[in-house]
Each structure stands twice: as structure tokens, then as C-alpha cells.
Structure 1
């Protein structure tokens, strides 16, 4: 398993991985259709959003984005292929992203978490600091988390 920068040619594949990962939580088709635009990555997004992928034997099993400018940014997207859940890929991607964030000079990152992913982020050391409106579903709120980066 290795983590590497995403390639522009992978934008469509990453979008489909994000949709499949979101669908894993049992959301219906209407909900998923409402999320598609927010979960769509375009080739130009990949560099700007510092997109990294976890790859094994040539297959992308997950990805993450590090958004914003130091000192405060966001873990914008993090998705793992449903058939690869429970293999430590989320932890690998999270730790990689936090290492990159420190290297770029970020002091803290926020995370607009899917409610189903909140326990994972809390286990990684993030803390809930409030709620934030969904970018896809009017009236829906998401857990707003924060991860403070230290120099360890």
C-alpha cells in the first residue's frame, strides 16, 4: 500500500469512489444525486486540493484532500472504497494528510464530517466544535470537527 499524489486522469475514478463510499452508509438515490456535485472532482481540482490517493497493486482504494491555505485549512474529502473498509486505509490517509498539513504550515484543520464518519475522526484525535450546514442537502447539518496539528 502506498500513498501518492492523485493524477489528473483519475478525477472521474475518484468521484465514483466518493459516490460509492457515500452510498455504503445506506443513503437513498435521491440523497446521493443531491451530493453528486459536491463530491465531483475535476482534473484541475486535484493539484489545488492537494489530493492524495492510497493505492495497492495499481488500484486506488481511497483518497483525501487537504484544502485551504495555512495556518487554517480543512480536510476537505476523505473516502475509502467500501470493499476496503476496515483495512487501515482511512488511518493511513488521515496520518498522511496530517503529516502533509504540518509540512505546509497548517496549525489546525476543520472537518465537515458525515455523521457516520464522525466516530472515526474522533478516534483519530479530532474534537467536535459544532455543526455546519450541508453543502448538498438544505436543512441538513453535519458535525463540524477540528484537528489541531502539533509539532510531534
Structure 2
């Protein structure tokens, strides 16, 4: 598996695994399309968001972004394609994302986790810090988390 910086021309290739990852959790048919806007990786944002894919044989298995300006920052997006779940891709993405955050000057990056991903983030050392309204579903609350570096 190769971890590297993403190129702007790969943005669309990263959006699709993000959507498949979201769909993996059994949300209803209307939910995933409602997430498309917020899960779209835009070519103009790839560098600014410090986007890093994990790939095998030229295929993106997942990716993470580190967003913001010090001292406030976030692991903004982190998705693993469902076909690669259970293969250590999430762990392989998480540690370098934190290293990128540390190098950028962040002290406690936040994570707006999907409720289904909260156990993974807890296992990586993140703690829940509150509840944030979902941008996709009115009334739904996401578990914002943070990691102290």
C-alpha cells in the first residue's frame, strides 16, 4: 500500500470511495445523495486540504484530509472504501494525518465523525467533545471528536 499526497486531477476518484463508504453503513436510499455535496473532493481544494490517499495497484482504497490553519484544524475527511475495510487502511491513514496536523502546528485537531465511525476514532485515541448538527439530515447529530497531539 502506498500513502502519498493527492493530485488535483484525482479529486473525482476520491469522491466516489467517500460516497461508497458512507453508503456502507446502511443509510436509506435518499441519504447518500444528500451527502454528495459535502463529500465531494474538489480539485482546487486537494492541496489546501492536505489530501492523502492510500492506494494499492493504482487504486484509491481510502483517503484523509487535514483541514484548517493552526492552531485550529481537523481531520476533515477520512474514508475507506468498503472493499478495503478490515485491512488496516484506516489505521494507515490516521497516523500520517495526525503527523501532518502536528507538522502544520495543530495541537488538538477535531474530527466530525459519522456515528458509525466513532468506535474507530476512539480506538485511535480521539475523545468525543460534543454533538454537532448534521449538514445532511435535519435533526441528526454527529459526534465531534478531538485528538490531543
Shift of 1:10: 1.0
Aligned partners of 1:2, 1:100: CA distance in 2, in Å? 16
Would you identify which runs of 4 or more consecutive aligned residues in structure 1 move more than 2 Å?
Answer: none
Residues matched between the structures, number: 149
Q: Tell me which residue corresponds to 1:4.
A: 4
Instruction: Give the secondary structure class of the aligned counterpart of 2:145.
Output: strand
Q: CA deviation at 1:9?
A: 1.1
Deviation string, structure 1 residues 12-49 (Cα, Å, up to 9, x no partner): 11111100010110112201111111111110011111
Q: Distance in 2 between matches of 1:138 and 1:51?
A: 28
Structure 1, unmatched stretches of 5+, are: none
Please report how far the alpha carbon of residue 7 of structure 1 lies from its aligned counterpart in structure 2 after TM superposition.
Answer: 1.1
CA distance in structure 1 between the aligned counterparts of 2:43 and 2:72, rounded to whole angstroms: 24
1:127 and 2:127 equivalent? yes
Structure 1 residue 69: deviation in Å?
Answer: 0.6
Matches within 5 A, 1:108-123: 108-123=108-123
SS in 2 for 1:106: coil
Q: Which has the higher strand share?
A: 1
- Consecutive unaligned residues in structure 2, runs of 5 or more: none
| Alignment pair present for 1:87 and 2:87 | yes
Structure 1 length-normalised TM: 0.95
- Secondary structure of the residue that 1:107 maps to in structure 2? coil
Structure 2: distance between partners of 1:30 and 1:138: 13
